[in-house]
Structure 1
Amino acid sequence: MTTVLPPLQVGSQVPRLARWPVGLVTAVVATVHLVSGSVGRGYWFDEALMLAIGRHHLDWGSADQPPLAPAIAWLADTVAPGSIAVLRIVPSLATAGAVLVAALIARELGGDRRAQTLTALAQATGLWATLAGHWLTPYTLEPLGWLLIVWLLVRWIRLREDRLLLVIGPVLGLAAQTKFQVILFAAVLLAAVLAIGPRGLLGRPALWVSALVGALIAAPTLIWQAMHGWPQLQMGAVVASEAEALSGGRPGTALGLLWLAGPVGLVLVVAGLVFAVADRRLRPYAFLALTFVALWALFVITAGRPYYLNGLHGALAALGAIGFQHRRETGHRRLSWIVWPGAALSVAAAAAIVPLTAMLSAPGVQNGVIAGVRQAWSALPAEERSRTVVISGSYIWAAYLDTAPPGTELPPVHSGNRSYGYFGPPPDDRDVVIFVGLDPAQLAPVVTGLQLAGTSGSGDTLLPPGAEAGAPVWTGGTAQRPWSEVWPELRTLHVG
């Protein structure tokens, strides 16, 4: 005979936090990423961009990056110039923090020791989280913000304490200063609440006061976008154009949005989607499942990046873990066994991925492009060197050059690509050009005479399409028009 458990009541008590197992998983994640980050010898290319912006171009925004990650990079580089280990402390701790918050969500849902631990393990061993968890990038910091918003909401549903709602806005504002997708997440989340409840949330003045505070915190970077023609909105088409090469197009995106949760995460996320409907104790939280499904469909239709839902994997995993717990408590144990092989496989996959991160951020490519540019620059007559500028066809090469080790002597570096295109043109008196990129025709509106000098770099890292590991270096170019006049023609969001 089985029993049916009633839904959680407002003000009901929850189990104690599973401090030792959850704390152990969190500590292991922090340690692994701090160590991996400290032994790494090179930057991941998006990480190099954050550091380059922080060092040379820190502002309230850039073409496709809000300012928080570059600001953290600036702070780390100010404290310890050139230290990759210090640069990676904040993202490593944020990755570990997301593990703890995921477990707290499971606890708020009534999760026992086992459910909390499973949720923590799922968040800890997500494939993308394991790969990128110590890189200082917006998508590494993002999951912590999303999970904090979910934890505050589910805690409010249990306690109905409006002071919790007042915290959501500041978290949302800071998350928007990290990555813009959180604004879409919040909008879809509210739509899901409106559609299936708890609609009482929408009638709370504290929610809207908090939303206003969040908007004020996010306002500076949104104003920057408005003043520069909203380049972030144009990035949707750019991301879609890269989807086929990066993730296999829409089918690859559809699968990646799920399987990047990792083996046990995938099991628990799918289970969470089912239990949010089938388990009446979890139906008050079905808005989380609806939000996940709606965002999944939207990101597939728009051919977004496969990691765009990483911030929700932990929340759905919590629903799945609690659903399996309820089945155990009511005598249904037949499906619970599938979680543990997934957990073992997740740990094994995470252990295999950790060494891969060092390969993907190896210094060979950066060192190669630096050496190629220095060689080309040194070969120029002395009277031309002071008039030389490096123009990169890709933000990647520009960022690698801009984050050269302290003391490296290079000409000024500029690019019309992505964020670099909005940093401003070279001085008009810099008329001798070294071009780094695949297609010197990009500079046809202004430069003539470019000739291939050689190819720098090596194939030991993963780069987006249009930024292959060998970076051709072109010399002999002369600017025929003022950079200030022609710069808008050279600005592009597509990597080339």
Structure 2
Amino acid sequence: MGEQRGLPRFAALPVGIVVAVQAAVLTALSGRYGFHRDELYFVASGRRPDWGYVDNPPLTPWLARASTAVFGETPAGLRVIATLLGMATVVVVALLAREFGGGRGVQLFSAIATALSSYVLVVSHMLATNSADLLLWSLITLFGLKLLRAGDGRWWLAAGAAAGVGLANKWLVLLLLSGLGIGVAAAGPRRVFRTWWLAGGIGLAVVLAAPVVAWQAAHDWPMLTVAGGISADDGGENRALFVPMQLVLLSPVLVPVWVAGLVRPWRDPRLRWARALTIAYPVVCLELLVVGGKPYYSIPLLLPLVALGAEPVLRWLGRGGLTRRALTGAAAAVCVVVSVLIGLPVVPPPALNGVLLAMNKEPGEQVGWPEFAGSVAAAWQRIPATERDTAVIVAGNYGEAGAIERYGPELGLPRPYSPHMSYADWGPPPDRLVGPVLLVGGFERGSPAARLITGCRPVAKHFTAGGVDNDENGVVLSLCTLTKPWSVAWRRLRQFY
């Protein structure tokens, strides 16, 4: 497509150096701590490939299966794909900076800022649905901006393809599409809507997303049930924290950069075509505030704004004296250190307790899973040998079930079951298993589950290695009795969140 004329050359060498260093650091640290609870769930989901799961579309579990099949079912093997997604995101943000007319220095700044930002470090170190979402949002934005700048309708096909893949990962991409659509309708250039290529892009997205949507429809839209539960349980807290989190999740030192990006197209007539992006971000934020979505859902839109604001910020620094540059450099250094401490496994696990876990709980959820499986194995041995053939392990959440499934066989444990999320679809236990129930965790008093699994007698309590204060620290393991056949009880035990 010929609209590349007039753009600066892509700074392949300096951006490539940034990406190489990023890959080296992430790879060196990828085996530290262990699997995150979500990663254990994705590995388990990948073993059961399908067009959908209760709480997410299939792309991330498919990526987990591919990465572990090639590189091994270890934290380091799984995280190869997260590293690759993070590297690709850095390249795309540099390309976005180029799209706004940024030269070598601006592209390099954008790449470094992206690679070192807290949110990008977190989702590039461990595999999450956000890992792919960050790249896909950046790609959709890049293709959309190319369309707006050059008016070449063929970019609708690229944007449609990226949107279709995005819908196979997280449906939050609909927020991005609505924000950009409203931005173009409000600020133009609206001529991009007057082309048959738009229909082609929509059609391509629909074709790619159709199997995923069909699966959700056939299973009574469980993702909407999960989203509704998140909003009901956490909506108030999410709304209260939304604005402060926008200022810190990427990096406080980058706030002036993306604010400059919000302002720049309204001051520079040459970038009038990019105004839709500056409208999209507040639109997406407003939508998330209305539905009570998590604050980090909107963070991928800040990266294009960083690329947009990089040039005026670098000019401002260039006009300042030594004091201005020194203070800015010191602030940037502090923020980078904080980003690394909260985003990467660089401290011993016991040192996580306190401030670091308060700022980001995810590293704590990567500690102690083999030991957790060991605690379950010790509790399993409390069941008389004559009763183990008919006994069942029921885990309270998908992380616990994933850990037992991953580490349990080498400890002599049978397959675990869990009523949580998609694990509920992978049950129930056979009705012939009428023996004791080893319950990991517990149920709320008076709940249907508490009436179906009764007589619980605590036999062990798990404490996380190093005393790390995560969700499994202090969990109780009990031996219980099932009051109904599993085929009857299972649907009443199901948990969507």
Q: TM-score, normalised by structure 1?
A: 0.88
- Select the residue among 176, 180, 191 that pairs with 1:189: 180
Report % sequence identity: 30
Q: List aligned pairs for 1:8-87, cutoff 5 A.
A: 13-37=6-30, 39-55=31-47, 57-87=48-78
Equivalents in 2 of 1:13, 1:119: separation in Å?
20
Q: Which has the higher helix share?
A: 2
SS of residue in 1 equivalent to 2:417: strand
1:377 aligns with 2:367: no
Cα drift, residue 265 of structure 1: 2.6
Does the CA contact (< 8 Å) of 1:133 and 1:140 recur in 2?
A: yes
| 8 Å contact kept, 2:118–2:340 | no
Q: Aligned-pair distance for 1:214?
A: 1.3
Give distance in 2, aligned partners of 1:256 and 1:374: 40
Q: Using the TM superposition, give the Cα deviation of residue 167 of structure 1 relative to its aligned residue in structure 2, in angstroms.
A: 1.5
CA 249–156 in structure 1, closer or farther in 2 if over 3 Å, else same: closer
2:345 equivalent to 1:355: yes
Closer, same or farther: CA 363–144 of 1 in aligned 2, 3 Å: closer
8 A Cα contact 2:377 2:411, kept in partner: no
Correspondence for 2:457: 451
1:380–1:43 Cα change, 3 Å: same
Aligned to 1:470: 474
Whether contact under 8 Å (1:272, 1:320) holds in the other structure is: yes
2:204 and 2:324 map into 1 onto residues whose CA distance is 43
What SS class does the counterpart of residue 132 from structure 1 fall into? Answer: helix
2:117 equivalent to 1:129: no
CA pair 347-440 structure 1, distance change in 2 beyond 3 A: closer
Corresponding residue of 2:353: none
CA separation of 1:346/1:22 partners in 2, compared to 1, >3 Å: closer, same or farther?
A: farther
- Structure 2 unaligned blocks of 5 or more: 350-362
Provide, for residues 206-235 of structure 1, a one-character-per-residue CA deviation record: whole Å limited to 9, x for no partner.
122122111211121211111122121122
State the superposition RMSD in angstroms.
2.9
Deviations 1:258-299 (A, max 9, x none): 321113432211221122333333331111111111111222
Mapping 1:12-411, distance limit 5 Å: 13-37=6-30, 39-55=31-47, 57-241=48-232, 243=234, 248-324=237-313, 340=329, 342-353=331-342, 354-356=344-346, 359=349, 360=363, 364-404=367-407, 407-411=410-414
* Cα deviation, residue 326, structure 1: 7.2
| Alignment partners' CA distance in 1, 2:469 and 2:124 | 16
Q: How many Å separate the matches in 2 of 1:203 and 1:343?
A: 44
- The whole-number CA distance in structure 1 between the counterparts of 2:335 and 2:377 is 44
- Report the more deviating stretch, 357-366 or 195-204: 357-366
Contact 1:127 1:350 (C-alpha < 8 Å) held by counterparts: yes
Please say if 1:490 is aligned against 2:489.
no
Does the residue aligned with 1:261 lie in a helix, a strand or coil? coil
Task: Provide the rounded CA distance (Å) in 1 between the counterparts of 2:247 and 2:258.
Answer: 8
CA contact (8 A) 1:440 1:450 kept: no
Stretch deviating more after TM superposition (95-104 or 65-74): 65-74
Q: State the secondary structure of the residue aligned to 1:424.
A: coil
- Aligned pair count reads 477
Cα contact 1:17–1:104 (8 A) shared by 2: yes
User: Any idea what the Cα deviations from partners look like across 1:425-460, whole Å, max 9, x if unmatched?
Assistant: 211112231110143755324222211111113175
SS in 2 for 1:451: strand
Q: Is the 8 A contact 1:365 1:469 kept in 2?
A: no
Structure-2-length-normalised TM-score: 0.88
